[in-house]
Amino acid sequence: MKQRISVEDVRQLTPEQQEKLREWWNEPKIGDTFVINRDSEIRSVDSTWRLIMISNTPLPERFCPMLSIGQCIDLLEKSGRFKGLHKSGTDGEYKVYLIPGNNNGWGEYIKSDKELIVALFEAVKEIL
């Protein structure tokens, strides 16, 4: 099971979506993984990188977090649109439910996939 989004996933985001993602990720934690966009270099935040990153507010636009499953769920919950997650017993796919727009109902799942991180990231893209 994949635990985080990939460099290719980050590249799917528009510059505006990447900026919103950086705003949410405004205080990187030790162990977080990020990509440096210009050369697709993947790094993990350690104590040195954390000091560099939080001293450059806002984060340099070339840095973008490679979200984990937990970070995707956190971002979705903070959006106020996350309604739930379900794994289907028939096809084994994960379904992420969001409130679409101004709808107050249960919402519709916007993505299902056998990989949890893929379904979650599709939902994240929807709210960014």
Q: In this structure, are 14 and 62 located in the same domain?
A: yes
Domain assignment of residue 48, given as a range: 7-67
Q: Is residue 2 part of a domain?
A: no
> What does DSSP assign to residue 60?
P
pLDDT tens digits along 48-98:
776 666 665 566 677 889 999 999 999 999 998 898 899 988 899 999 988
Last residue in a domain, options 67, 89, 105: 67
Strand, helix or coil for residue 102: coil
Mean residue pLDDT across the chain = 84
Last residue in a domain, options 49, 67, 85: 67
Where residue 122 falls (left for φ over 0; alpha for ψ -120 to 50; beta otherwise) is alpha
Task: Say if residue 103's pLDDT is above 90.
Answer: no
Our count of domains for the chain comes to 2
Q: In this structure, are 44 and 77 located in the same domain?
A: no
Helical spans, DSSP H, in the chain: 7-11, 15-24, 47-55, 69-79, 116-127
Contacts by 15-21, CB closer than 8 A, 24 or more apart: 15/61, 16/128, 17/125, 17/128, 18/61, 18/64, 19/61, 20/128, 21/64, 21/65, 21/67, 21/124, 21/128
Residues 6+ apart with CB under 8 A from 77: none
